[in-house]
Amino acid sequence: MRMSWKRWSLLAVALVVGQPALLAAPAPKAVSRGQAAGLDFAGMDRAVAPGDNFFAYANGGWYQRTVIAADRSSEGPFNHLFDLTNRRTGDIIRAAAQAKAPAGSETQQIGDFYASFLDRTAIDAAGLKPVQPLLAGIAAITDRKALASYLGSTLRADVDVLNATNTYTDNLFGLWVAADLDHPTRYAPFLIQGGLGMPDRDYYLDPSPRMKTVREAYQAYVAKVLALSGEKDAQARAARILDLEHRMAEVHVSREETEEVRRGDNHWTRQDFATRAPGLDWDAYFAAAGLGAQQTFVAWQPAAITGLSALVASQPLATWKDYLRFHALDHRAAVLPKAFGEAAFAFHGKVIMGTPQNRALQARAVDATNAALGEAVGRRYVAKYFPASAKAQAEAMVQNILAAFRARIDHLDWMAPETKAKAKAKLAALKVFVGYPDHWQDDRGLLIKRGDALGNADRVELFHLHRAIAKLSRPVDRGEWVMTPQTVNAVNLPVMNALNFPAAILQPPFFDPKRPAAMNYGSIGAIMGHEISHSFDNQGALFDAEGRLENWWTPKDFAHFTASGDQLVRQFDAYRPFPDAHVNGKLTLSENIADVAGLAASLDAFHLSLGGKPAPVVDGFTGDQQFFLSFGQSWRTKMREAALRQRLVSDGHAPAEYRADTVRNLDAWYAAFGVKPDQKLYLAPTDRVRIW
């Protein structure tokens, strides 16, 4: 099913971590192509000059030969690692489904959730009966107070942490419970804007012909869902729903504003909601959400909260009821009869992402089970696929990169000593979690019933909501993870001053203990450096060593830092994947800073790890060339146009091709490949962004 929302995560963990001495690499030796696991020489295009198009030089052959699978919106190494991880977790999940496990055990929960999702015969036979109580509750809404109560009952906490930078929920508001930005030793409830059926406000407000076509397709999809559910006048109702969502989009704040932490740090009391956001019966809303006793919240997008609340009062009750009926069905389309799932994919998959074919049912069932019971599956995953030796080697790489980053701080010629001291204190306090959490979540009490796919999905979301709300009465857990071990990703958590490097990303093609160090540092090392650098990007730099939103900069230093960021914004604004669309340098600034700083720190760590010895030459490529090629090949991606256009609008990450071009900011890249001033990627030394 479509998960309720994806959060822009500012959770908190801050523990002191030591920095051991750098680990030396073995003595260098020549390595043949057959030993060079991790570099795809055949996938390069050596006819292209690295200084003209580094992405094509590193990946051109692969790009020309690669065909995007019909059930995907993109292809690349992340996809291949997703496939490997899903095959492994699929084996674990299917074994649980076949086991005779005690009721309430993790094995029973995993197996029965998967088997229920997979049982399309039972789902089709049940029809709309499982969702009927929900639809009846919507039909029974007779006044604004009842509407507020229903809306409050749909508030959910995040159960999909694969993308921690998005702020999307198809409910009116979304909730995450995290460490308070001003008081990181205690939890606070953060309320965020929501309610849209399409990914972002721009899908409603952009006047371009392409977006107009998408809106027409969305209205047709809404009408189809209503008609499938037995509603009359589906077309007219769909038009009113789209109009309501358009009004919601008009009061939503932009992605750029959403990611400005200081704008989001707004503490509202319960009385503030009544006076600053009139229209919604907030007492009824919070009571139905299970937050009736909570007296303070963080209103992340106050203007949107005010605007959405006003719409609850101003728009016709009948329109709201139609809107809620559609979203109840759309949200659960994956566990409703076949026609609903097909209609949902035709819009969300084909129109929004440009993917012609849905993934196999078994793969979707594995995804849903991982989202529902991630740590239970993850505990089994790491026991089978992540040995202690891999964890130790990855931790050693992280420590090397931390040491390199510390040295880079020491050598900054523009930063005052007092700012350097604060930066190094923050780096020393950074807590790095590798592979899996020290303490696993306990899902006992979560009822999973075989044969009740929709009920299982709803109970999982409610269980996560209750777990999140329960944290409000407890001290902050500094060891909390926000990703499962089988997640192919990594995350920095500014308020927690912590990093999560899940086990699933610590494998080839990103990490392989058997290959030359240059390749590991260019791929997983750059990712590690990227996440470390997020603690010092334009948002992370606003938090101190304890994870508190506090200015620790001198005015002059922060002005220099901001100017460097502005320089990077201009660099990425100039990239145009399409004639009518360019990368949003401001929206992607945090990620771009992390790429530049992380790549530089990982390169330094690689050099230091050699212990003064030369790097082994591989197939004629020097150590630095291997490093940069590994980085470029890590970002090899081929993406469908619709998916790429969505990314430009709604994703804080730049397209992969331009992330690979990060190399043009490092002097060592110019030396490694002999890049000349007349080549397209050449930047004069003064134009190269040097933030950390």
Q: How far apart are CA 525 and CA 506, in angstroms?
A: 10
**Residues 316, 405 within the same domain:** no
pLDDT in tens, 441-455: 999 899 999 999 999
Exposed, middle or buried, 428 (CB in 10 Å: 0-12/13-18/19+)?
A: middle
- Does residue 277 form part of some domain? yes
pLDDT by residue (tens digit) across 311-335?
999 999 999 999 999 999 999 999 9
Q: Is residue 572 part of a domain?
A: yes
- Residue 519 falls within a domain, yes or no? yes
What span, in angstroms and rounded, lies between the C-alpha atoms of 388 and 247? 53
> Which among 599, 399, 413, 629 has a CA at the least distance from the CA of 519?
629
Among candidates 520, 513, 477, which has minimal Cα distance to 495? 477
pLDDT digits (tens, 9 = 90+) for 469-509: 999 999 999 889 989 999 999 999 888 899 999 999 999 99
Between CA 538 and CA 593 the distance in angstroms is 8
Residue 635 belongs to some domain of the structure: yes
Same domain flag for 324 and 423: no
Asked if the structure places residue 462 within a domain, the reply is no
The enclosing H or E element of 190 equals strand 187-193
408 and 286 inside one domain: no
302: CATH: 1.10.1380.10
How far is the C-alpha of 184 from the C-alpha of 125, rounded, in Å? 50
Q: Is residue 37 scored above 90 in pLDDT? A: no
Q: Residue 32: pLDDT above 60?
A: no
Last residue of a domain, one of 359, 391, 411: 359
What confidence category does residue 3 fall into, taking pLDDT thresholds of 50, 70 and 90? very low
Q: Could you tell me if 494 and 429 are in contact, meaning their C-beta atoms sit under 8 angstroms apart?
A: no
| Strand order through the sheet with 498-502 | 431-435, 498-502, 491-493
DSSP secondary structure, 620-636, as one string: TB-HHHHHHHHHHHHT-
CA distances from 89 to 270, 278, 468, 522 (A): 44, 47, 26, 28
Q: How confident is the model at residue 27 (pLDDT cuts 50, 70, 90)?
A: very low
Q: Specify whether 405 is located in the same domain as 327.
A: no
β pairing state of 187-193 and 296-299: parallel
Render pLDDT for 522-572 as a digit per residue (tens, 0 to 9). 999 999 999 999 999 998 999 999 999 999 999 999 999 999 999 999 999
- Residue ending a domain, among 338, 359, 380, is 359
Do 542 and 641 lie in one domain? The reply is yes
Q: What percent of the chain has pLDDT over 90?
A: 88
316 & 406 share domain: no
Own/partner contacts of 236-242, CB < 8 Å, gap of 24 or more, are: 237/322, 238/326, 240/316, 240/319, 240/322, 241/319, 241/322, 241/323, 241/326, 242/215, 242/218
Helix 388-410 × helix 417-429 angle, to 10°: 170
Q: What is the pLDDT of residue 194?
A: 95
- The model's pLDDT over 179-211, given as tens digits with 9 standing for 90+, comes to 999 999 999 999 999 999 999 999 999 999 999
The answer as to whether 303 is a domain residue is yes
Q: Is residue 669 part of a domain?
A: yes
Single-letter code of the amino acid located at 181: L
624 pLDDT higher than 60: yes
- Check whether 78 has a pLDDT greater than 90: yes
Please choose, from the candidates 239, 212, 238, 242, the residue with its C-alpha nearest in 3D space to the C-alpha of residue 225.
238
In this predicted structure, the answer to whether residue 165 has a pLDDT above a threshold of 80 is no
Cα→Cα distances 67→466, 630, 647, 656, Å:
44, 22, 20, 17
Strands 296-299 and 431-435, by their bridges, are unpaired
The answer to whether residue 16 is domain-embedded is no
Interval 613-639 mean pLDDT = 96
Tokens of 400: 């090397």
Q: How many domains does the chain have?
A: 2
Please tell me the pTM assigned to this model. 0.88
Q: With pLDDT > 70 as the criterion, what percentage of the chain qualifies?
A: 93
Q: What is the mean pLDDT of residues 389-400?
A: 94
Residues 558 and 658 in one domain: yes
CA-wise closest residue to 148 among 274, 271, 288, 245: 288
Closest CA to 309 of 156, 199, 144, 197: 144
Same domain membership, residue 505 and residue 604: yes
Report the alpha-carbon angle 585-215-8, nearest 5.
40
Torsion sign across C-alpha atoms 658, 661, 662, 665? negative
For residues 543 and 497, give the distance between their C-alpha atoms in angstroms, rounded to a whole number: 8
Q: What does 31-86 look like in DSSP terms, one character per residue?
A: B-GGG-TT--STT--TTS-TTT-HHHHHHHHHHHH----TT-SEESHHHHHHHHHH
**Coil, strand or helix: which one is 437?**
coil
Q: How far is CA 202 from each of CA 146, 160, 199, 250, 254, rounded to the nearest angstrom?
A: 31, 23, 8, 9, 9
Rounded to 5 degrees, what are φ and ψ at 644? -65, -40
Query: Phi and psi at residue 132, in whole multiples of 5°?
Result: -60, -40
Quick check: 298 pLDDT over 50?
yes
Instruction: Indicate whether 544 and 655 sit together in one domain.
Output: yes
Rounded Cα distance between 447 and 26, Å, is: 53
At position 34, the amino acid (one-letter code) is G
Phi first, then psi: give them for residue 176, nearest 5 degrees. -130, 150
Report pLDDT for 17: 26
Q: Which H/E stretch holds residue 498?
A: strand 498-502
Tokens found for residue 76: 């690349």
pLDDT over 50 at 167, yes or no: no
Do 346 and 428 lie in one domain? The reply is no
**Domain end (from 301, 335, 359):** 359
Nearest-angstrom CA–CA distance, 488 and 78:
7
Instruction: Supply the pLDDT for residue 6.
Output: 31
Residues 514, 617, single domain; the answer is yes
| Average pLDDT over all residues of the chain | 91
Average pLDDT of 148-162? Answer: 77
Indicate the pLDDT class of residue 349, thresholds 50, 70 and 90: very high
Residue 550: give its domain's CATH number.
3.40.390.10
Asked if 288 and 416 sit in the same domain, the reply is no
Model pLDDT, residue 36: 43
- pLDDT-based confidence at 650, cuts 50/70/90? confident
pLDDT score for 513? 86
Q: Note the pLDDT of residue 12.
A: 28
Task: Tell me which residue range forms the domain holding 168.
Answer: 144-359
pLDDT tens by residue, 238-276: 999 999 999 999 999 998 898 889 999 999 999 999 999
